[in-house]
Amino acid sequence: MDIIKKINALGLMSGTSLDGVDIAAVTTDGVDVYEFGPAMTVPYEDELREKIRSVLGKKPDTPETSRQLQIVEEELTRFHAEVVKDFMDTYGGHYDIIGFHGHTVYHDPQNRYTHQIGDGRLLAELTGIKVVNRLRNADIAAGGQGAPLIPVYHAALCADMEKPIAVLNIGGVSNLTWIGANGEMLAFDTGPGNAPVNDWVLRHGGMHMDYNGKLAIQGQVNEKIVNALMRHKFFAQYPPKSIDRDIFKDKLENLEGLSLEDGAATATAFTAEAIAYSLAMFVPYQPEKLIVCGGGAKNPTMMRFIRQRLNKVEVISAEELGWNTDAVEAQGFAFMAARRLYNMPISFPGTTGVPVPMVGGEIHEPALNEDRR
């Protein structure tokens, strides 16, 4: 194993919200985070976003779908390479490794299957930087949920904070990390995140998201529909558990017939209710503080609904701690890339249900060319 030392790592995250690519830099040895580097988000162009959307839920189980996935994967990878180039042109710096999540198109842990499009070898060739991808596959193959993976990074960020504490990431789906007084971790997907809201406003308002929760705050929550949505079988399952972004799609047909604003409010309340239910039912002790990151943390209406349902827990945005809310997941994949480099586990029995702590990810070395020899 290489001698463990501080390295500069980049993380790339394409979330299930389909908003774009988050890129962030950290200086880390895979145990401690020594410095937060720059970060930025690059929105997807509409054409690429729709191409990604067109392969969601598809597996490469026929020649046609396999070819379709390959085409979109290459385009997505080249877009990520351009993001890295633009990032380095803007901020400079030298980077030792990239943690490349790719984009999840199919996630079925019960059948030991997950598929993230993103060609690690191609990204290494295009950027000239070592790449780690397929971070979920080893966990899935060993019987874990393959998600959430970010808890190992949450634990590093919260190392010096009073416990128990919880970190909530609201992306397309929502996932929770609970950290106990002795550093023990429990993590799982709580249910929906931004995806139901985004899908609703796209279908009925032609917008990619409910910007700043402006639609939801004008609407009325239909609590009867929220209660119906909460009867989904996922909520009866005990952690560890994870979901695909579209698992609630059929039940969300209950929203049809509502106004644009009422539908946005009800979908937002569904996410908040699922979070509150999960904290009430599945963590050993209620945390004193819940730190919210991800896109949902920037939605004031989402935050308001969560606070209303968790009136005995201090709910704060990660930005109040000086964290970059948009960058936490990308930073996490940079951190995990460093851990993979040093053969340290990224998933654990309490976070994904895997039998033993698992090292995850495949390493791709950039091909040497004449310019680098």
Bridge partners of 106? 115
Residue 305 has pLDDT above 90, yes or no: yes
pLDDT at residue 240 in the model: 87
Give me 324's structure tokens: 């970059």
Mean pLDDT across the chain: 94
What pLDDT band is residue 2 in, cutting at 50, 70 and 90? low
Distance CA 232, CA 68 (A): 32
Comparing 7-146+327-364 with 151-325, is the CATH topology the same? Answer: yes
State pLDDT tens for residues 169-189.
998 899 999 999 999 999 999
The count of C-alpha atoms lying within 13 angstroms of the C-alpha of 286, restricted to the half-sphere facing its C-beta, is 12
Distance CA 59, CA 107 (A): 10
CA of 67: how far to CAs of 28, 44, 305, 348, in Å? 38, 22, 43, 34
What pLDDT band is residue 114 in, cutting at 50, 70 and 90? very high
Distance CA 116, CA 58 (A): 11
- What letter does residue 365 receive in the DSSP assignment? P
Domain ranges, ordered by start, for the chain: 7-146+327-364, 151-325
For residue 240, whether the previous peptide bond is cis, meaning omega lies within 30 degrees of 0, is yes
* Mean pLDDT computed over 74-80: 98
Residue 323 has pLDDT above 80, yes or no: yes
What pLDDT band is residue 96 in, cutting at 50, 70 and 90? very high
Identify whether the C-beta of residue 320 lies closer than 8 Å to the C-beta of residue 112.
Answer: no
Residue 372 has pLDDT above 50, yes or no: no
Distance CA 148, CA 114 (A): 13
Q: What is the CATH number of domain 151-325?
A: 3.30.420.40
Distance CA 215, CA 201 (A): 9
State pLDDT tens for residues 262-293.
999 999 999 999 999 999 999 999 999 999 99
What pLDDT band is residue 110 in, cutting at 50, 70 and 90? confident
Q: What is the CATH number of domain 7-146+327-364?
A: 3.30.420.40
State pLDDT tens for residues 123-133.
999 999 999 99
pLDDT at residue 369 in the model: 46
Q: For the purposes of burial, counting CB atoms within 10 Å of the CB of 5, is it exposed (0-12), middle (13-18) or buried (19 or more)? A: exposed
- What letter does residue 344 receive in the DSSP assignment? -
